[in-house]
Chain A
Amino acid sequence: MIGWIRHHKHALGTALHRLRIQAFTTLLTALAMGVAISLPSGLYLGLANLSRVAGELPAQPEISLFLDAGASTEQKQAIAARLKQPDIAQARFIPKDEALATLSASQDLADITAGLTENPLPDAWIVRPQATSRDALVRISDGLRKMPGVAETHLDSQWAERLQAALAIGHTGVWLLAGLFAIALIAISGNAIRAQVLARRDEILVSRLIGATDRHIRRPFLYLGALQGLFGGLAAGGVLAVAGTILREPVEHLAVLYGSTFHLLPPDGAEIAMVLGLTTLFGWLGAWLSVTRSLHQVEATR
């Protein structure tokens, strides 16, 4: 056990030493990785912020139900009873007088409503069903429309659905990009480690001759790959921090134009830890693939 820890300590020390004496190469590799990782992570952050905007809006779909002007009291009571059923989350009755008052309160329409001799608006219900899927909403909406005394229903969910669909595509895109850039990360790490293995050819051959196991030879390179991945993740963090600083003001300006106090939020601790963990893992993986292959090459050309 102590020997095992000693081996790992030694390998980590060796890896850090190699990174330090080749600081410029280390920096370039970290930057290449950082730029690659910052694309999917940036998109993820952008979407997270956009989702927050969407969350602030009433994304819940609503059904507007307009009563027939000549609906009887019994019909109105039947409709009210139907809207108390458990598949309806919330239902709010808007009498036509209230609707007209709301309309009149709005500046642009005050003149028009003032000229009306009688209230042309119907009584209405704003219904929020429990279900959110399009099919269920359509079914409820159609059911309500067929009730006696109902003039019309209007399913008010299209824009919310479109936004959700767009965000879903965005999220799929993030995973797709993340997958692609994970491969890029493995390739960058693998390439960097391959160069290291070839540069240390003599050491590997001599170590073999005096009794080094495959694992012993591989270990510093794996640490090298993992550390390189970690630095890549940190570089991505740097890239995103710079991008966030540059974008913050224009975004807040745009938000103000929309009358919102929206501002960009940075990633939380768990998200940062996950990105760093994944880049470390993929750096290690690239190193493993590369060192296993390169070691055989080095020995074949002995």
Chain B
Amino acid sequence: MISFNQVTKRYPGGHEALSNVSLAIEQGELVFLTGHSGAGKSTLLKLIAAIERPTSGVVSVSGQNVSRLSRRAVPYLRRNIGLVFQDHKLLFDRSVIDNVVLPLDIAGFDRREALKRARAVIDKVGLLNREKANPVSLSGGEQQRLCIARALVSRPALLLADEPTGNLDAGYAADIMAMFRDFHQVGTTLVIATHDERAITALGGRTLHLDHGRIGEVPA
């Protein structure tokens, strides 16, 4: 589903975040991305979603060459990818449900159908009683779950999560990882960048380790 072929990403200023990375991720796989901070985990995820472009090499997703995708085509790629951000990127000028409904509004869903689906996802992440609340009033863990709900509401085939449990205590982190396992079991492809060793051992799955922009497979 995802393949990197000799991908290098150099940021303006000369910092090389990824060096000559090649990898392949199959449909339905659960992949953890580990490494110290600054090792290039976020960059790798951004290249998959076409948020950044590689300096050289080819990134392809579902057979599409993402590295050469036109600006007009990028939105349609992203509609098939759920993104979970470490800083949540929630909108604080609207309620919980309106945050979740946003991707469906963008995709042009019927409003009633969209609200129905949004409510179902909010229920799944356990926030149904906070549906009308402003995200500001949610705890860190709740905000992270809201971000996950928004990533999943359009039922993407691929979910990319950047440090989804980064700022959370162990209890919340375990909850969220359990949710990811459920999605993996229904066939979603997941790529999760994380430090959380316990989660990796609990969920199993493949682990890719990044070290100063170079990639290596960690034997299970």
Contact = CB atoms under 8 A, between A and B. Distances in A.
A209 B83 contact: yes
A6 B91 contact: no
Interface in B66-103: 71-72, 75-79, 83, 89-91, 93, 102-103
Contacts, number: 49
Interface in A178-225: 202-203, 205-214, 216
A207 B102 contact: yes
B91 A203 contact: yes
A92 interface: no
B150 interface: yes
Interface residues of A, number: 18
Contacts of B103: 210-211
A209 B51 contact: yes
Nearest to B107: A211
B106 A212 contact: yes
Interface residues of B, number: 24
Contact of B106 (A4, A202, A216): A216
A10 interface: yes
B182 to A, nearest CB: 21
Given A203-B91, A213-B75, 8 more contacts: A205-B89, A206-B102, A209-B83, A209-B89, A210-B103, A211-B75, A214-B72, A216-B75
Interface of B: 49, 51, 71-72, 75-79, 83, 89-91, 93, 102-103, 105-108, 110-111, 150, 154
B48 to A, nearest CB: 13
Contacts of B93: 203
Interface in A10-48: 10
Interface string A76-116: 00000000000000000000000000000000000000000
Contacts of A210: 78-79, 83, 102-103, 106, 150
B89 A10 contact: no
